[in-house]
Structure 1
Amino acid sequence: MDRTTKITQFIEERCLVEFGTDVTPQDDLFKTGVLDSFGYVQLMAFLEQEFALDIDHEDMLTNVLVSLESIDGYVAAKLGQ
C-alpha cells in the first residue's frame, strides 16, 4: 500500500468520510468539519508512527496541514521523496 493510500484510509476510517464522495483531496479538512484539533493530533501521531517521522511541536503548529494533498506532500518531503 502506498503512502497516499495509507493516509487516506486513516482519515476515512477515523473521521468517517470518503474522499471523492464527501470531500476532495484539496478540501480544507478543518473547514469541512472532517478534522478538529484532537483529530489533527491523532493524525500527526499516526504519521510519526506509520512513516517513522519526527514531527516537532513547532512544525506541527506553524505548518498546519489542512488538506489531504498538503498532508501527503508534507510526508513526502519529510521522507525525501
Structure 2
Amino acid sequence: MNTRERIKSYIEGVVMQLLDDDEDIFELGLVDSLFGLQLVSFVEQEFGLEVDGDDLDIDNFCSIAALDRFVNSKIIPSVER
C-alpha cells in the first residue's frame, strides 16, 4: 500500500465512511480536535516521522490528500540525507 492508501484506510476506518481525497474531514464535522491529535500519533508511528510544532497546521491534516502531501514532504527530505 502506498502512503495515500495507508492514510485513506486509517481515516475511513475511523469515520466509517468513504471519502474523496480532498474532502475536509474537520469542515465536514466527521472528526474533532482530539482526532487531530490521533492523526499526529498515527503519522509518527505509521511512517516513522517526527511531527514538529511548526507542522501542527490544520492545513496539513484536513484531508487525505493534504496529509499525503505532508507525509511525503517529510519522507522525501529524510531519504535524500
Shared fold, TM over 0.5: yes
Contact 1:25–1:68 at 8 Å: present in 2 too?
Answer: yes
Q: 1:1-81, aligned counterparts within 5 Å? A: 1-19=1-19, 24-60=20-56, 63-64=57-58, 65-80=61-76
The letter of the residue matching 2:53 is H
Which stretches of structure 1, 4 residues or more, deviate above 3 A after TM superposition? none
Unaligned runs of 5+ in 1: none
The letter of the residue matching 2:18 is E
RMSD, aligned CA = 1.4
The alpha carbon displacement at 1:56 in A equals 1.7
Identity of aligned residues (%): 31
The alpha carbon displacement at 1:9 in A equals 0.6
> What is the TM-score of this pair, normalised by structure 1?
0.83
Give the distance between the partners of 1:3 and 1:59, measured in 2 at CA. 18
Give the distance between the partners of 2:6 and 2:12, measured in 1 at CA. 10
Unaligned runs of 5+ in 2: none
Q: Deviations over 1:13-58 (max 9, x none)?
A: 1121212xxxx21111111112210111101100100100000234
